[in-house]
Amino acid sequence: MNEPKIIQLPKISDPRGNLSFFENDNQLPFKIRRSYWIYDVPGGENRGGHAYKNTEEFIVALSGSFDVVLDNGTEKKTFALNRSYYGLYVPKLYWREMENFSTNSLAMIVSSTDYNAEDYIRDYNEFLSKVKNEQR
């Protein structure tokens, strides 16, 4: 199984303003199928609370800050995202919560799959039994 990891992105520092990027077949361990973003989150609000059967994601705090809590069914790790020149790779089958959004934060997420409601696991117990089955 792949492990979650922080991926540093290129940062082109410039007095006119910095620039960072990622592209297919570079930086990320999957090919990008879809992008979405989460914004206008009231300060302190939480999102997420699900896992994906097959989808992998990469999450960047383009603005502000928030925490991503990843749970593999055995242990939980919290990743604080607060810069636009790195992001968090989230493998499939991790329960993920996004917490502590700062006011005006902007989360950009790129995904390895098209949107498919069937790929979501929204029940934590179902997630745990799926993880245990995969480990057999």
Please report the DSSP string for 96-126 in residue order.
Answer: EEEE-PPTT-EEEEEESS---GGGEE--HHH
53 binds ligand TYD (CB under 6 A): no
Residue from 20, 48, 52, 92 touching ligand TYD (CB under 6 A): that is: 48
Output the smallest distance, CB 61 to ligand TYD, in A.
15
DSSP, collapsed to helix, strand or coil, labels residue 36 as: strand
Nearer to ligand TYD, 23 or 117 (CB): 117
For residues 28 to 47, the per-residue mask of contacts with ligand TYD, x marking binding by CB under 6 A and - elsewhere, is: ------x-x----------x
**What does the DSSP 8-state code read for residue 22?**
-
**Does 73 engage in binding with ligand TYD (CB under 6 A)?**
no
| Residues within window 85-124 making contact with ligand TYD, judged by CB under 6 A | 115
End-to-end alpha carbon distance in the chain: 13
Nearest approach, Cβ of 47 to ligand TYD (angstroms)?
3
Q: Which of 47, 50, 53, 83 is catalytic?
A: 50
Catalytic residue flag (residue 50):
yes
Instruction: Say how far residue 125 (Cα) sits from the centre of its chain.
Output: 21
Q: Contact at 8 Å (CB) between 120 and 28?
A: no
Rounded Cα–Cα distance for residues 126 and 55 (Å) = 17
What residues make contact with ligand TYD under the rule CB under 6 A?
34, 36, 47-50, 115
